[in-house]
Structure 1
């Protein structure tokens, strides 16, 4: 016997809320972190080698922490921010923290791949450094940045299912409570189908946006 249709709709809505909220936070802060890492590098616009190295190490440390461990480690922080450690909004904190360094590295790679000749040309024309970031680095790296967003949102969908299994609600929680615990393999299969469809939509939308942003085509 399958779960009621309203349970699927509620679980999907909770998953979309978790993914959307966490993605906005993670992508926004991750991109800002990527810009800082890029411009403070040894050959960056604001070269600060020691600061860059320390920040880079911190990013690598956070990237190495498995999500399930980060979820538990951030329980006090989550409680302090949202007032609880259970529910959809409580999952936004660890989900965002998990994806910020992940996306920052992806965006940093795209920013570092921008032709240095363009940057040097802009500097020779007298452009201010923050103008170069805004009008050269970001536009040139935009296709890669959008591609990184796609990968990050898909990773967020996967992580949200894991968070749902430990009390955050969503499709992961539905699969555990109605599928695994009640031995309803049909429910688990239907949840998998929904997740595959959701990931496919995100992938298609991301690829379309990246193609439109690529002025080299």
Structure 2
């Protein structure tokens, strides 16, 4: 491998494409996942507004989607991706499957974070006549904020891992470079460089998430 300006430009483009896929997919996954997570916690049998008829089927659907390996889910989504984006190649084409595969994971992260909120605080809010919306907005979200931030870091790094796998179908980004050069052309150095960049991105996301979580945690003085 010749580490020239063309190689540097390719790696830079791949890094930007990966960051683009991660940012857009994470945003859309949270737009879908947060409401799903709220429904799961509110509609649970021990929730503030139990709705078994909604909670159980929603939980099954979420578990079913989460159980499908992403590379298989990506292939299953190709017709829908082509319908939405107009193509199945490139970084933009990876966003629909990334979003739909990640949203159930985000929903479970949100549900888990909300379950960490002290039940006594919820009961106190209910006894004071707070509505379901008020409990969600003024109790659950503020109290679960540190856990939600840690969960967000984990979710984003998971989405990063998914995006790397998209290289197998020409999804662009660092994963595509690693597969085209490191796997098909046996250029081990290129593979190692792309892995190193991915590791650095993961570390930055994790540190940012943990740092924001510590700052928002009222228990830490």
When normalised by structure 1's length, the TM-score is 0.96
Unpaired stretches in structure 2, ≥5 consecutive residues? none
Aligned to 2:128: 125
Of 104, 107, 113 in structure 1, the residue corresponding to residue 107 of structure 2 is 104
Q: Which moved more, 1:91-100 or 1:40-49?
A: 40-49
When normalised by structure 2's length, the TM-score is 0.95
Deviations 1:173-195 (A, max 9, x none): 11122222222111111111111
Aligned to 2:208: 205
Cα distance in 1 for residues equivalent to 2:177 and 2:17: 11
Deviations 1:34-54 (A, max 9, x none): 001110111222211121111
Aligned to 2:188: 185
**How many matched pairs?**
217
Q: Which moved more, 1:101-110 or 1:15-24?
A: 101-110
Aligned to 1:22: 25
Aligned to 1:2: 2
| Kept after mapping to 2: 8 A contact 1:2/1:184 | no
Unpaired stretches in structure 1, ≥5 consecutive residues? none
Cα distance in 2 for residues equivalent to 1:95 and 1:171: 15
Aligned to 2:43: 40
Cα distance in 1 for residues equivalent to 2:141 and 2:2: 48
